[in-house]
C-alpha cells in the first residue's frame, strides 16, 4: 500500500475521489459538495487555522487504486470538559473493509499527532465547528443530513478493533411532522400564550440584525460553556445568518420573548441535502440555478433542527412547549407542508436536552453517531465525557 501526503491539487482531488469510489453502489450516500470539504482545508476559509494546523493523506493499493484517506489536526481551542491531556483530532476517514489498511491510516495520524505533543486523538471529528462532519454513524444508515457524516457499518469494527473507545454518543431524533402533538404540550403552550407579557415571533429576513442579537442572547445564556461550546458574538451570528439567508424558511425559525426580552429560540432549516443530492458534489453556476429552481418548484419536505434553546431562568416553565406548538402550526400548513423533521445530534452527556427532545411529542431516535477517543498511553485510565450538571 502507498500512503501519500496531500500536497497539490491533483492529490486534493483524489482525496475527494476516495469517497466517490467507495460509495458508488450505496443508494443512501449523498455526495457532499466538493467546496464544503475543500473549505475545511483552506486557510483562507477556515478560521480554525488561527489556532491549529491540519494534514491529510490518501491511501492507494499496490495497483494504484484509491482505497482510503484520513486527516489529522491540532487545535488549541479544542478541549472537552474533564480533559487532562492534550487531545488532537482525526477525521474525513474513508477506507475499504480492511483492518490492515485502516490501521495504517490510524497509525499515521497518531504518529503525526504525537510529534505535535498530543497524548490522545478523537475522531472522526471536524477541524472546526461541531455542527459539521462530526462522529461515526453506527445506527440509522439513511440519507445523511447536510454536512453530516455517513459511513458503512463496518467502520465501527475498524475503529474499535484498532482500540478506539466511545467518548460520547451523538443522538439524533426524528418526528413525523404531520402527526398531532400530545395534549400536554398544547396545555403548557396555552398557559404562556395567555400571558400578555409573553409573545412569539417568526424570523424576518428584513430584520436579520435584530434576530442575530436575540439569537446571541439566548445562545450565550443557554448553551455557551456546555460540551465545549463557546460564547458567540453578535457579529459572528450576523455573519452566520447572512450566509444562511438564501436558504432560510421564515416559517420554521421562531423566537419567544418575555417583556420584549428574548428567552427562547427554535432554529430550523430545510434539509439542503434534499437539493444537493442532485448536484454530484458540484455547485457551479448551473447547479446554483438548478438549486433555485428546486427551492421554488420542488421544495424540501424535510426540515432539520439546528438549535433549540431556552435561557436558564425560563427552563422548565413551558417555553419549549410554546415554541413547538407555534412551529407545528407553520409546518402543517396545507399549502406548503413539511413531512419529516430531524434534530441535529445531542450528546449523551447532556441528559437535560435529551429529555427535552424526547418530550417533543412522538419522537424516535433516528440515528446515532459516535465520537471515539484513543489514548496513546494504553495503560492510562479511559474516561468518557462527563455528564453535564
**What was the pLDDT predicted at 71?**
98
Instruction: Give the pLDDT confidence score for residue 224 in this predicted structure.
Output: 67
- Distance between CA atoms of residues 298 and 291, nearest Å: 10
- Confidence (pTM): 0.90
CA distance 38 to 34: 6
pLDDT at position 251, please? 93
pLDDT (mean) for 48-53: 97
Answer whether residue 216 shows pLDDT above 90.
yes
Mean pLDDT of the region 264-289: 96
Q: How much of the chain exceeds pLDDT 70, in percent?
A: 98
- Find residue 68's DSSP bridge partners: 59, 95
Among 25, 172, 1, 28, CA closest to 98: 1
Looking at the predicted structure, is the pLDDT value of residue 283 above 90?
Answer: yes
Checking if the pLDDT of 230 tops 80, the result is no
Round to whole Å and give the CA distance between 182 and 159.
40
8 A C-beta contact, residue 218 and residue 265:
yes
Q: Quick one: angle between helices 208-222 and 234-244, nearest 10?
A: 120
Across the chain, the runs of DSSP E, i.e. the strands, are 2-5, 52-60, 66-75, 87-95, 120-123, 136-139, 165-176, 198-202, 253-258, 261-270, 302-310, 340-347, 364-375
Task: Calculate the average pLDDT of the chain.
Answer: 94
Would you call the peptide bond into 124 cis, given omega within 30 degrees of 0 as the criterion?
A: yes
* pLDDT > 60? residue 228: no
324 CB-side CA count, 13 A:
29
Give the pLDDT confidence score for residue 307 in this predicted structure.
Answer: 87
- What residues contact 159, with CB distance under 8 A and at least 6 apart? 102, 123, 136, 372
Amino acid at each position: 500500500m502507498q500512503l501519500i501526503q496531500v500536497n497539490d491539487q491533483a492529490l486534493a482531488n483524489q482525496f475527494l475521489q476516495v469517497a466517490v469510489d467507495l460509495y458508488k453502489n450505496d443508494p443512501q450516500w449523498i455526495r457532499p459538495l466538493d467546496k464544503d470539504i475543500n473549505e475545511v482545508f483552506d486557510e483562507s476559509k477556515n478560521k480554525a487555522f488561527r489556532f491549529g494546523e491540519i494534514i491529510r493523506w490518501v491511501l492507494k493499493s499496490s495497483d494504484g487504486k484509491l482505497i482510503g484517506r484520513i486527516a489529522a489536526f491540532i487545535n488549541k481551542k479544542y478541549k472537552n470538559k474533564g480533559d487532562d491531556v492534550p487531545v488532537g483530532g482525526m477525521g474525513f476517514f474513508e477506507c475499504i473493509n480492511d483492518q490492515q489498511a485502516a490501521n495504517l491510516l490510524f497509525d499515521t495520524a497518531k504518529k503525526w499527532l504525537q510529534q505535535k505533543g498530543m497524548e490522545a486523538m478523537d475522531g472522526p471529528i471536524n477541524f472546526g465547528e461541531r455542527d459539521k462532519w462530526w462522529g461515526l454513524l453506527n445506527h440509522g444508515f439513511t440519507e445523511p443530513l447536510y454536512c453530516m457524516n455517513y459511513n458503512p457499518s463496518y467502520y465501527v469494527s475498524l475503529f474499535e478493533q484498532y482500540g478506539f473507545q466511545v467518548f460520547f454518543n451523538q443522538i439524533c431524533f426524528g418526528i413525523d411532522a404531520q402527526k398531532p402533538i400530545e395534549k400536554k404540550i398544547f396545555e403548557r403552550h396555552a398557559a404562556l400564550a395567555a400571558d400578555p407579557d409573553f409573545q412569539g415571533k417568526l424570523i424576518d429576513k428584513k430584520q436579520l440584525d435584530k434576530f442575530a442579537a436575540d439569537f446571541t442572547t439566548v445562545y450565550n445564556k443557554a448553551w455557551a460553556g456546555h460540551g465545549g461550546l463557546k460564547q458567540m458574538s453578535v457579529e459572528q451570528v450576523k455573519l452566520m445568518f447572512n450566509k444562511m439567508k438564501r436558504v432560510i424558511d421564515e416559517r420554521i425559525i421562531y423566537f419567544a420573548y418575555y417583556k420584549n426580552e428574548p428567552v427562547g429560540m427554535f432554529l430550523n432549516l430545510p434539509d439542503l441535502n434534499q437539493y444537493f443530492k442532485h448536484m454530484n458534489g458540484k455547485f457551479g453556476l448551473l447547479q446554483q440555478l438548478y438549486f433555485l429552481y428546486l427551492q421554488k418548484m420542488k421544495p424540501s419536505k424535510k426540515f432539520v433542527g439546528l438549535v433549540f434553546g431556552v435561557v436558564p431562568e425560563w427552563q422548565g416553565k413551558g417555553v419549549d412547549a410554546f415554541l413547538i406548538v407555534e412551529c407545528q402550526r407553520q409546518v402543517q400548513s396545507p399549502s406548503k407542508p413539511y413531512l419529516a423533521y430531524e434534530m441535529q445530534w445531542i450528546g449523551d452527556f447532556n441528559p437535560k436536552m435529551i429529555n427535552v427532545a424526547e418530550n417533543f411529542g412522538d419522537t424516535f431516535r433516528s440515528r446515532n453517531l459516535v465520537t471515539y477517543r484513543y489514548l496513546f498511553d494504553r495503560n492510562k485510565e479511559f474516561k468518557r465525557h462527563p455528564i453535564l450538571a
